[in-house]
Structure 1
């Protein structure tokens, strides 16, 4: 304890920002995770500054972390976001304690309970067809947008995965076209989704319309605006494209977004008879329990006890 008290003063000698930098440098995680840690600890630092706690950092206690959590809840952030912020703060104080700089005042402070089910709605098959039919494919933007929407709803890819894809990532595996991807939290393109003929053809049509010789290292989906021509679409741009298509068919609520297409693909795969293992592989869920949520939700609706009530 004496050693801890002496070294506790280091949190005064070093600014909180310096400590955060040292903490991040010490983490054996992917670059994307480091960026998340940096962003989410910036939120914590901003809160410390706004509440004048940064001036009394050496006396920061467990109650202060609980107040931070309460303030996050008041801000109406999602439970996922709040849990992520709290988790990173816990990791930070665990590291401070391991370095004998400051005691871990976050012990037993929990994140938020995950909500049951999913926050985004799925699309029906009719809605998917209406959305695809609403896209004007006479120009490059239309061909691209059609290919993206169609790809998402047939593979369950995340927007970040689509943004990372290059032309050369379309390959053949056992006579089957596949798309190699860099999954969530991964450092390399070491996973793939299957490209059925229906998923591949719009992509081929779009690439053919781009013309010229397209290098394998070029982004699969690019901007065709004068300002950013040739640059790969960002996740924000992809989300905006999908949101625009959904709005076009009247699905203009927060319950529908690009992530809805991922939920839709997984749900349709299960309805089509895919096994748990097959669905988990397509969705790239690390834990089968995550995949099981989809099965549970479908069974709950299709076999609901309420349907047995006869009045």
Structure 2
């Protein structure tokens, strides 16, 4: 009669019987699990960090791998949320990594104790605020267009407000990514978690004209050159970083009196999506522009707009005032 497989965690997992080659917390096994995933390298790195955190939790709480239960996975979620005070999205990402690993381990005879354990419930609102139409106009009007830096900043801010690009998408863009599709100017982008530039945003004339003006001032605007570059003496002509984009946006906002941690570069993305819906775009059309994988994310924007437009509190005031 074969000996049952047993696993114990004491810094790393060891296999109780010699005929088994699957050690769940062995680095080689973790590497094999990550290699099996059809995910971007950045997501795999996130999963690796998340699973390392889970291993540390198991060790620090003196748990044995062979006695872990679903309750222990839930305790890990509570530890991340309460003790570590991680954001709900981060907690959900960590739990996603643990569920993924146990799904993989199940193929090697280990019970999938993580099945059905949900991530932390996230708020249906956004942590970052969006601009009003007046604020967006003032933001653009406050930019000094007499310098190359000013021309760049205006083109960048204007682009983000009109297309909803993320800061990393702006940073990755090259001059040659501006192309024509069916007679329409577009900017091909490498989206979040995407391996290449396989999607695009439509460039209206109002979005493209400031970019053309800015590139006309540049010494190098060849196809392989970054779309937005630094003008600092130390790294002039080099690609902007996400930190640089964040600084440009924050400085522009401070010029119009907005100095609030809820307003960041990502606020311009929120603003663009909100404006598209306010301007008459359908939820599906807004989803395509924003490149949301799930339309439910886009629907949050629509819900927030409807909440303000049709606030029930106004009905109370009409009765009482």
Alignment TM-score, normalising by the size of structure 1: 0.88
- Does the Cα contact within 8 Å between 2:77 and 2:120 map onto a contact in 1? no
Query: Which of 127, 142, 154 is matched with 2:135 structurally?
Result: 127
Report the equivalent of 2:264: 257
When structure 1 is superposed on structure 2, of 148-157 and 23-32 the one drifting more is 23-32
CA distance in 1, matches of 2:175, 2:289: 20
1:33 and 2:43 are equivalent in the alignment? yes
1:63 aligns with 2:63: no
Ranges in structure 2 where 5+ consecutive residues have no aligned partner: 16-22
1:114 aligned partner: 122
**Alignment correspondent of 2:184:** 176
Query: Is 2:71 the counterpart of 1:97?
Result: no
1:297 aligns with 2:299: no
Higher Cα Rg, which structure: 2
Counterpart in 2 of 1:144?
Answer: 152
Q: How far apart are the structure 2 equivalents of 1:299 and 1:146? A: 31
In the other structure, the counterpart of 2:18 is none
Q: Distance in 2 between matches of 1:286 and 1:97?
A: 28
Measured in 2, the distance between the counterparts of 1:139 and 1:67 equals 56
Contact 2:6 2:66 in 1 (8 A): no
1:82 to 70, 91, 100: 91
| Cα 1:239–1:44 shift into 2, 3 Å | farther
Residue 59 of structure 1 deviates from its aligned partner by: 4.2
- The more displaced of 86-95 and 10-19 is 10-19
Give the stretch that moved more between structures: 30-39 or 83-92: 30-39
TM-score, structure 2 as length reference:
0.85
Aligned-pair CA distance for 1:142: 2.5
Q: 1:107 to 1:295 in 2, by over 3 A?
A: same
Q: Give 3-state SS (helix, strand or coil) of 1:256's partner.
A: coil
Distance 2:98 2:251 in 1: 36
Higher relative contact order (CA 8 A, sep 6+): 1
Deviation of the 1:88 alpha carbon = 0.9
* TM superposition shift of 1:57: 4.3
CA displacement at 1:290 relative to structure 2 = 2.4
Structure 1 gap ranges (5+): none
RMSD: 2.4
Deviations 1:268-298 (A, max 9, x none): 1111111233222211223333222222221
